[in-house]
Amino acid sequence: MFKLAHLSDIHLGPLPEVRLRELLSKRITGYINWHRHRKINLDNGIIDALSSDMLAMKPDHIALSGDLVNLGLDREIEVAGLWLQSLGAPDYISVVPGNHDAYVRSSLRKACEAWGPYMRGDGDSGPVRPDSFPYLRIRGPIALIGLSSARATAPFMATGYFRERQARATAELLDRTREMGLFRVLMIHHPPIQGATHPHKRLFGITRFQKMVWEHGAELVLHGHTHLPTIHTIMGPGGARVPVVGVAAAGQAHGSAKPPAHYNLFHIDGEAGHWRVLLTRRGSIMPGGDVVELSRQWIIGSDGPDHLDR
């Protein structure tokens, strides 16, 4: 049995000191939004509590689906790198970037350089660049395939992109890992689901992504971006239903419009063709409260007891 933890949308704060020249771009709108909304709705204390609880659950691996930072500032990227180091070693944590990590044109390149060890495939030794995705990591019976939908966009836009080159490369990894009998997990920041978020935040390439899964298969898709604990499904080969699972923002405070912070914990058991996956969501039910189990449900298979050994 393999335990995979999933968290997303950390949005580490507070913002560092911002120089005027750094605001002469899309960042000016994000800076205003931070002071009007985001800094009120984020809680760094819950990030610490979630991280401690997650590590206490002793997951075999951690998947982090983007938006570690807010405005893509150099100092933010540096601090996020230190936070990742405090969470665990690069072999233990797989990261994909989000739109806030690519806030302006230079941000994603700098994030890839700073967080590269957490976004590098098995056996890869070169530098990680914005075009290095997808990457593949194999951990036990699990194949983790990291994708990037992150790209700098115009002000008031938070769209993502999944283009043909990445789809072709991902399809090859899906075929290879299917032949190995592995449980294939696709990690992407933007949800590959029509209507999952507002048009100005959507993923361009949803049809391409879903066609890829329909033709080549996958067992599970993880995403962030919406700050919502959702479960959708898309079709795989032979009518298989592939769960697409979102999660609340890891830094979301209580009392805002979005659900408070939590993380997902997947218990994955079985073998190719006979997988079982139990999803539990863990977070606090009140400000400053202990992190507890919020919900539990089977998302693949349901025979047997309502739990797996922890």
Residue 48: HSE in the Cβ half-sphere, 13 Å Cα cutoff = 6
309 located within any domain: no
Task: Answer whether 248's CB lies under 8 Å from 205's CB.
Answer: no
Structural domains of the chain, count:
1
22: domain CATH number? 3.60.21.10
103 located within any domain: yes
Residue type, 72: G
pTM of the predicted protein model: 0.90
308 located within any domain: no
283 located within any domain: yes
194 located within any domain: yes
pLDDT per residue of the chain (310 residues) written in tens, 0 to 9: 999 999 999 988 665 566 655 555 555 455 445 444 554 455 567 898 999 999 999 999 999 999 999 888 888 899 999 999 999 999 999 999 999 999 888 999 999 999 999 999 999 989 999 999 999 999 999 999 999 999 988 887 889 999 999 999 999 999 999 999 999 999 999 999 999 999 999 999 999 999 999 999 999 999 999 999 999 999 999 999 999 999 999 988 887 788 999 999 999 999 998 999 999 999 998 888 899 999 999 999 975 444 444 3
State the Cα–Cα distance between residues 100 and 68, nearest whole angstrom: 8
305 located within any domain: no
191 located within any domain: yes
**Which residues, other chains included, contact 100 with Cβ-Cβ below 8 Å and sequence gap of 6+?**
11, 66, 67, 68, 69, 70, 71, 72
Kindly state the tokens that stand for 131: 């075009």
Nearest to residue 249, comparing CAs of 230, 228, 280, 231? 228
Task: Answer whether 118's CB lies under 8 Å from 63's CB.
Answer: no
CA Rg, the chain, in Å?
18
State the Cα–Cα distance between residues 283 and 100, nearest whole angstrom: 23
Boundaries of domain holding 13: 2-300
